[in-house]
Structures are given as C-alpha cells and as structure tokens.
Amino acid sequence: MELRHLRYFIAVAEELHFGKAAERLHIAQPPLSQQIQQLEAELGVKLFHRKTKRQIQLTEAGKVFLQEAYQLLVQLETAVALTQRIGRGQTGQLRIGFTSLAIYNLLPSILRQFRKQFPEVELVLLELTTSQQEQALKDSLIHVGFAHPPLEDDTISYKCIYRESLVVALSSTHSLAQQEYISVLSLLHEPLIVFPRYLAPGLYDRIMSIFEQRNFKPNITQEAIQMQTIIGLVSAGMGVAITPSTLENLQRSGVAYRPILEEVPVIETAVIWQENSLTPIVENFLQFSQKFI
Amino acid sequence: MELRHLRYFIAVAEELHFGKAAERLHIAQPPLSQQIQQLEAELGVKLFHRKTKRQIQLTEAGKVFLQEAYQLLVQLETAVALTQRIGRGQTGQLRIGFTSLAIYNLLPSILRQFRKQFPEVELVLLELTTSQQEQALKDSLIHVGFAHPPLEDDTISYKCIYRESLVVALSSTHSLAQQEYISVLSLLHEPLIVFPRYLAPGLYDRIMSIFEQRNFKPNITQEAIQMQTIIGLVSAGMGVAITPSTLENLQRSGVAYRPILEEVPVIETAVIWQENSLTPIVENFLQFSQKFI
DNA sequence: TAAAAATACTCCATAGGTATTTTAT
DNA sequence: ATAAAATACCTATGGAGTATTTTTA
C-alpha cells in the first residue's frame, strides 16, 4: 500500500464517482478504478458497494477507512511541517550558558530579539563560568555559551561579540570621583572590592595584572560573589572596584564610574560553540548573534 | 511522498548504514540512496548528517521524523486491521429487534453463542412488535429482527427459524390438568387470559382463530402485557391461557402445559432483514442464526 | 440510449539494478 | 587498501493512458 492509494480512495469516497474523482486527481478513470481495486485486494475488504455501475456507495468498512485515511494524511502533514520547522531551526530547545558578566552586556537584547524572530524555540539559560561552559559544551549540556576568552580548549569555536574596557566604580561622594580619569596609582591605597577568582579567573587576573604590571600590590578588602553586591558595597562607601564598563548599566545611584587613565586590559565577551555539533537552531542563533557585533 | 519513502527512511535510520538497510529492504544500495535524497528534497530538510561517506547520523529533524514515521506506520496498520475487522463483520454494532415471544425461544442461545464467536460486535437489543420491527428495519433503526410471520411488507426478507404449536397453560390443580390432551370445546367456558392484541396481533388472531373456526366465542376475562404475568395469573388459578409452547421454558411451579387435541395454528419465529442493506455483520449474524434451525 | 464502471491493451515514467567513481578510514 | 556512499547509466515493472465493453437507469 502506498499513500497514493489513500489519496485516490479519499477522492473517490468524497466524489462517490470514479469519473469525477479521476478528473480531480488529474488522471484517467480506468487507472483510478484499478488502484482502488488494488487497495481493496490488499485489504481483503470491499470499500465500495458497486451494486450497479451507475452509482457507488461506501461500505461500513469504507466509511471507517475514510476517517482513518483522513487522519493519516493529516498526521503526515503535521509530521512534515514539524520536521521542516526543526530542520530550519525554527523550533526545538536551545540551551545557552552565560557568565554573570555576559548578562549585563549584549545577552539580554540578543535573547529578546531572538525570541521575537524564533518564538517556537525554547531557550534554556544556565549561568556558568567560562570553563564550566567549555565542559558543558563538550558534554552537550549546552549548545552555545557566552563566555570570556581566552578559552582553555582550542577545539571550541568562538566569535568575539563585545569588547569593553575596565573602569573604576566608586562612591559618587568619593574625592576621586571629581576627576574625569583615574590613574592606577591613585587606587593603590584604596580598599578594593573584587569578585572571587574562582568565579571569573579571566576577569580577576586582568584586574590584578593592572597592578602587577606596575609592581603594585592592591589593597583587597572585600570579595562578593555577585556583581550587584560589589556595586552595593561601592555605593555604601566600603571601597572601590574595577569592573567591566557594562556594569554602568546597573544605574545604581550613589555610584560613579570613571575610566582609567592608563592603558588597561580589555574584557571580551564571545559566543562559543562546538563546530561539530551544529544544529540548525544553533546555526540560526550564531548567525543572529553575530549581527549584533 | 509515498509510504515507500517512510519505510526506506526507517530502515536507514535504524541501520545507520545504507548498504545494510538496502539489504534488509531487498533492494540495491543506490536506489535507496536516491529515494532518501528524494525524501530530503521534498521535505527541504536533511535527515542524515553525511559528514563523511563512511558513516551517517540522524539530524535533529531526522530523529523527530523517525518517530513520526513510526507512528504513521503504526497508525496505518491499526487502520488496516480495524477496516478488515469491520469488513469481515467482526466488529461494529448490531441492532436487533425482538418480540416478547422471541425472547423465550431461540434468541437467548443465539445471542450467547454469537457473542462468543464475535466478541467485538456490540449487540443492541430492542423489544418491538413484528410490525414495529418492519418499520425499524426500513428506518435503519435495527439491522435484523426476530419476529412472527406473516409480514406486512413484502420487501423485507425473512427466514423462519422456529416453529411451535399453541398449548394450553392451566393451573396444575385444575381438573383439565388430568387430561393428556385438551380439546378446544372443553376450554369454551374457561376464563381465558390473553395478551392484548396491539402487542402481538399475529399471535392474538391465531389464538382467536381456534375459536372462530368452530364458531365458538371464548370467555376472555383478563389481559396482561407480559408473558410472565399471564403465567402468573394462570398459576394463581385466575384462568387458562393459550400460549406458544416455548412458554413452558418459564418453568413456573403450579402451572401445567397441555397440548391441544385438535389441529391448531403454528406460531413461527423468523429472522427478518433488509436484503439491500446487508453489512458483513448482518451477513455473519444471519448465517449464524440459520445454523440454529 | 446514455452514462458510468470495468476490462483490455499499450506506453512510458520511474523504481530499481549494474557499473563506476569518490572519499575517508 | 578497503569500505561506504554517491553518481551515471540502464532495465523493466507497473502506473497511467486510450479504446472498448458491459451494465443499468
């Protein structure tokens, strides 16, 4: 049995007239009769009463088979449509890793607009450090990540989508806040609030390198495991922090951000993925993300 | 798209090897490759990753389509099986009319054994008089009936399956119960209990004809609309009744049944149906019923 | 007599076969 | 060197067409 038999049967069952059904199917009447006979022979059951050659009528079995045939063709259409949507990356699940820093720069607007363009794609977000994301990619726990180069594993592909400099965050009542630019030297004896190294070794090391390059030793007084907490402590006058400039988006009152006078390392945010497990959704997402650069 | 494409796709998806799949399908490998390519072209979606020619792998879309293809083929099988069962009269609904008399002779055992042989056929029973059954057949409210000739409508087919004579039912303490046969004359002044004519005109008229033929006038004292009630009244000594012999099956204590000495009309029970609306179930049932003659 | 399905046959599109190439272990 | 899929080309089955017959309203 082939789908052709179902399609032909439906046409005849609806028209109850071989000639008209054949016309509708754009074939001649005799082959249609033959195909229906074939179908009946294969089923071992008559689908039409043919008491006379003038008019035909569905048998009980035919009525039931008609309903089943409808369902089958509908299910086929549905299956095809679903497969196509998946094949085009328009539906399915996308698991995204992100660092606590990435959530402050491009990620929110990328997600917002991606959801608008691909509303059927379910986005699952997991906050992970850069190296956790690398592992998660290899374990296929996430499809893409938003992390910060350099990567440990060179089999992972990445594309930098955002670069930002480090700035000084300090209480707006702090005397240094008067200056347009702040020099590293002037921070030397300020109490420094930092993110713990294990949560963002890349960021931590870059901040420290500012001091190390100059053989300074910073005065670390506090650690906080959330960006918001660091800014809160700054606002409370507990010290100053060196943060990526996107943290300015927090718009916390009582906190001023000032660029650093000297040349300091740049913090990069990159989309990372595994080239050998590119699904259409991931491809769509990567293409989409790169329009944001 | 044809079912062939689904069947071939399933084979390749399961084997993940065109050569083995082709072997399983008893075709050569190249046409299989072609059919899969056709399928992918029609869907507009790749179903297999063919990074290398050494090994293939299902894409996300392919995984989903595989599940859908399974479902489709299962649903097809189910549909075919159901259609065949219906076409062979092994499943469906059979609506049966019967008279209150028919329920005492062959009907119960016919139903019991038919149910055993065709357990999936739903039997719907409707108690109707003979003429109600004729109308119900024409209105397609019932498929077959158990009724009593003669029929009013000669377009209805019937086949007599049971013949029984009329007997006298009387209290076992009644003096006539001493006799082996009872003559019509001896009943003349006995109080007669009858079934109302509108419920069974054929039966009523035959009982009356026994008296009319001899220009007797029976002494009707009671009517009862249920067979059981008539026998109950007989048992209570309220009178005698003339009933079809199968009523003896009621086995009511205190009631004796005696044949009538003279020749009296015979009561026939027939299966009745409409020849031009024979479905397989009805055919099976008729064939089955006639084995009981 | 006309209309509709079935039958008989003919033809060609295409499913499937054979031979070969390509490509990656 | 081998195994596997793809490609090229050929063959032949069977789906579809044309002509005709059968049947009944």
Please provide the DSSP assignment of A166-229 as one string: EEEEEETTSGGGGSSSB-HHHHTTSEEEE--GGG-HHHHHHHHHHHHTTT---EEEEE-SSHHH
Over 90: is that where the pLDDT of B50 sits?
A: no
In CATH, what number is assigned to the domain containing residue B98? 3.40.190.10
Residues A145, A283: one domain? yes
Residues B41, B182: one domain? no
Question: Is A269 near strand D, with its CB below 7 A from some atom of it?
Answer: no
Question: Tell me, what's the pLDDT at A226?
Answer: 87
What pTM was computed for the model? 0.80
Compute the distance between CA of residue A221 and CA of residue A223 in angstroms, rounded to an integer: 7
Compute the distance between CA of residue A23 and CA of residue A27 in angstroms, rounded to an integer: 6
CA dihedral over B174, B178, B183, B186, signed as positive or negative? negative
Task: Please identify, among A87, A106, A122, the residue that sits at the C-terminal boundary of a domain.
Answer: A87
Burial class (CB in 10 A: 0-12, 13-18, 19+), B217: exposed
Q: B80 and chain A: CB distance < 8 Å anywhere?
A: yes
Smallest CA–CA separation between A82 and chain B, in Å?
Answer: 8
Task: Please identify, among A46, A66, A87, the residue that sits at the C-terminal boundary of a domain.
Answer: A87
Query: A70-94, pLDDT tens digit by residue?
Result: 999 999 999 999 999 999 999 999 9
In CATH, what number is assigned to the domain containing residue A76? 1.10.10.10
Task: Please identify, among B87, B112, B147, the residue that sits at the C-terminal boundary of a domain.
Answer: B87
The closest CB to that of A44, out of B45, B84, B281, belongs to: B84
Residues B261, B273: one domain? no
Question: Tell me, what's the pLDDT at B224?
Answer: 92
Token pair 């990069």 in the structure block, residue:
A268
Residues A144, A287: one domain? yes
Residues B256, B281: one domain? no
Question: Tell me, what's the pLDDT at A116?
Answer: 95
Residues B258, B176: one domain? yes
Residues B186, B277: one domain? no
SS3 A2: coil
Compute the distance between CA of residue A203 and CA of residue A194 in angstroms, rounded to an integer: 10
Question: Tell me, what's the pLDDT at B171?
Answer: 94
Over 90: is that where the pLDDT of B167 sits?
A: yes
Residues A288, A155: one domain? yes
Residues A101, A235: one domain? no
The answer to whether the CB atoms of B44 and A79 lie below 8 A apart is no
Residues B156, B273: one domain? yes
Question: Tell me, what's the pLDDT at B228?
Answer: 87
Across B208-230, average pLDDT: 91
Helix (H) or strand (E) holding A163: strand A157-171
pLDDT exceeding 70 applies to what percent of chain A? 100
Across A157-167, average pLDDT: 94
The answer to whether the CB atoms of A75 and B88 lie below 8 A apart is no
Question: Tell me, what's the pLDDT at A257?
Answer: 95
The answer to whether the CB atoms of B76 and A1 lie below 8 A apart is yes
Question: Tell me, what's the pLDDT at B66?
Answer: 94
Over 80: is that where the pLDDT of B278 sits?
A: yes
Over 80: is that where the pLDDT of A11 sits?
A: yes
Smallest CA–CA separation between B46 and chain A, in Å?
Answer: 7
Question: Tell me, what's the pLDDT at A139?
Answer: 92
Token pair in block for residue B32: 């299989």
Question: Tell me, what's the pLDDT at B227?
Answer: 87
Q: B71 and chain A: CB distance < 8 Å anywhere?
A: yes
Are the beta carbons of A273 and A290 closer than 8 angstroms? no
Residues B51, B189: one domain? no
Residues A157, A277: one domain? yes
Domain of B67? 3-87
Over 90: is that where the pLDDT of A118 sits?
A: yes
Q: Which residue is nearest to nucleotide D22 (CA to C1')?
A: A53
C-alpha neighbours within 13 Å on the C-beta side of residue A71: 16
Q: Which of B267, B248, B257, B270 shows the shortest CA–CA distance to B165?
A: B267
The closest CB to that of B45, out of A60, A84, A281, belongs to: A84
Question: Tell me, what's the pLDDT at B151?
Answer: 92
Query: A139-159, pLDDT tens digit by residue?
Result: 999 999 999 988 999 889 999
The closest CB to that of B72, out of A4, A60, A72, belongs to: A72
SS3 A157: strand
pLDDT bin (cut points 50, 70, 90) of residue A277 is confident
Question: Is A1 near strand D, with its CB below 7 A from some atom of it?
Answer: no
Residues 145-174 of chain A with CB under 7 A from strand D are none
Q: A73 and chain B: CB distance < 8 Å anywhere?
A: no
Structurally, chain A folds into a number of domains equal to 3
Across B110-116, average pLDDT: 95
Q: A46 and chain B: CB distance < 8 Å anywhere?
A: yes
A109 CA to centre of own chain: 12
Over 80: is that where the pLDDT of B142 sits?
A: yes
Question: Tell me, what's the pLDDT at B250?
Answer: 83
Over 90: is that where the pLDDT of B161 sits?
A: yes
Query: B56-66, pLDDT tens digit by residue?
Result: 889 999 999 99
Strands A266-273 and A157-171: antiparallel
The closest CB to that of B72, out of A44, A69, A76, belongs to: A76
Across A223-241, average pLDDT: 92
Q: Kindly list the distances between the CA atom of residue A157 and the CA atoms of A23, A125, A162, A273, in Å, as whole numbers in the listed order.
A: 57, 20, 16, 5
The answer to whether the CB atoms of B45 and A76 lie below 8 A apart is no
